[in-house]
Chain A
Amino acid sequence: MRVVVQEAEFDPGAELNAFGRGNTDIGAIVSFTGVTRDVSGGLSEMQIEHYPGMTERAITQICEEAQKRWSLADVLVIHRHGLMQAGDNIMMVATASRHRTDAFAAADFLMDYLKSRAPFWKKEVTAQGADWVESKQDDEDALDRWS
Chain B
Amino acid sequence: MIDVLYFAWVRERIGMPKERLETQAKTVLELVEELRAREERYALAFSDLSSLRVAVDQDLTDFGASLDGAREVAFFPPMTGG
Query: Across the interface, do A115 and B80 meet the contact criterion of CB distance under 8 Å?
Result: yes
Interface SS of A by simple majority: mixed
**In the bound complex, CA of A98 to CA of B60 (Å):** 33
Query: Across the interface, do A121 and B7 meet the contact criterion of CB distance under 8 Å?
Result: yes
Chain B interface extent, by class: 10 to 19
* Total residue contacts A-B, CB cutoff 8 A: 73
Interface size on A, residues (CB 8 A): 28
Of the candidates A51, A111, A123, A140, which one forms a contact with B82 in the assembled complex, judged by CB atoms under 8 Å apart? A111
Note all chain B residues with C-beta closer than 8 A to A111. 82
**In the bound complex, CA of A58 to CA of B74 (Å):** 14
Given contacts A49-B7, A51-B74, A132-B9, contact A121 B55 (CB under 8 A): no
Note all chain B residues with C-beta closer than 8 A to A118. 79, 81-82
Note all chain B residues with C-beta closer than 8 A to A90. 82
**Cβ distance A59 to chain B, nearest Cβ, rounded Å:** 9
Interface positions of A (Cβ within 8 A of B): 34, 48-51, 53-54, 57-58, 79, 90-91, 111, 114-123, 132-135, 140
In the complex, 9 of the A-B residue pairs with CB atoms within 8 angstroms, ordered by the A residue number, are A51-B76, A54-B58, A115-B80, A119-B55, A121-B76, A121-B79, A132-B8, A132-B9, A134-B80
